[in-house]
Amino acid sequence: MKKTVSFTLLLGSLLFNTAYASAIDALKKFNADTDGISGNFTQTVQSKKKSQTSSGSFKILRPGLFKWQYSKPYAQEIVGDGKHIWLYDVDLKQVTQSNQDQTIGDSPAAILSNKTALDSSYSLKEDGSKNGIDYVLATPKKANAGYRFIRIGFKGDNLAAMELKDSFGNQTTLTFTHIDTKPQLSRNAFKFTPPKGVDVLKP
């Protein structure tokens, strides 16, 4: 059965690029200086019973605009236009619309949309290196954040990996390629209009 990808895991997904004295320095530098980012991703969600891998591309324009496009194994699109989140399932011909602020809350997605979210919502520490990747461990300050931790990995001057573990023990691992921190993006690229003939749900 097809599994709809969790929005916050999807979006929790993204951070960053540049080489400095430490992974924390790189992360904070990115957070302060980066207004746009694009690239490709591969995502694996591991639960106690099964594993699911998907891939696609993403674009982000701060503040508050993002687009995740899943191409494999199923076509899905997630768009944040600053007010609403649109989740479009192509095969099901179904769009789910939700309030953006309520949906992302203090989730990892907030880091992408709001430059103040990193310091206000997470405690950071260096988390070692593995296979040439240096990691930052970001722990939510709120006990009910829904996430146990986020690990953000850098290789050289590029974002290489990200790991999320939620409160149910599910782990999401992302790898990134073709990262661009100076993409030419316009706000119009993040507008979403439901295609004709699809069902629009508003939970």
Domains, in order of start, for the chain: 7-184 (2.50.20.10)
pLDDT: is 87 or 131 the higher one? 87
Mean pLDDT over each residue of the chain, to the nearest integer: 85
Give the pLDDT confidence score for residue 20 in this predicted structure: 37
pLDDT: is 200 or 29 the higher one? 200
Give the pLDDT confidence score for residue 17 in this predicted structure: 36
Instruction: Give the residue-averaged pLDDT of 146-169.
Output: 84
pTM reported for the whole predicted model:
0.82
Kindly write down the DSSP assignment for every residue of the chain, as one continuous string.
---PPPHHHHHTT-------SSHHHHHHHHHHH--EEEEEEEEEEE-SS-EEEEEEEEEEETTTEEEEEEEESS-EEEEEESSEEEEEETTTTEEEEEEHHHHHTTSHHHHHH-TTHHHHHEEEEEEEEETTEEEEEEEESSTTSSEEEEEEEEETTEEEEEEEEETTS-EEEEEEEEEESS----GGGG---PPTT-EEE--
Reply yes or no on whether the pLDDT at 77 is more than 70: yes
Give the pLDDT confidence score for residue 101 in this predicted structure: 86
Phi-psi label, residue 61: left if phi above 0, alpha if psi -120 to 50, beta otherwise: beta
Give the pLDDT confidence score for residue 7 in this predicted structure: 52
Range picked from 19-23, 52-56, 98-102 for highest mean pLDDT? 52-56
Reply yes or no on whether the pLDDT at 15 is more than 80: no
- Note the pLDDT tens digit of each residue in 176-201: 999 998 999 999 999 999 999 999 99
Contact by Cβ (8 Å): 67, 14: no
Confidence label for 18 from pLDDT (cuts 50, 70 and 90): very low
39: its two tokens: 């690239």
27-36, 37-46, 124-133: the lowest-pLDDT one: 27-36
> How many beta carbons lie within 10 A of that of residue 140, not counting itself?
19
Reply yes or no on whether the pLDDT at 4 is more than 60: no
Reply yes or no on whether the pLDDT at 156 is more than 80: no
Contact by Cβ (8 Å): 185, 38: yes
Give the pLDDT confidence score for residue 105 in this predicted structure: 72
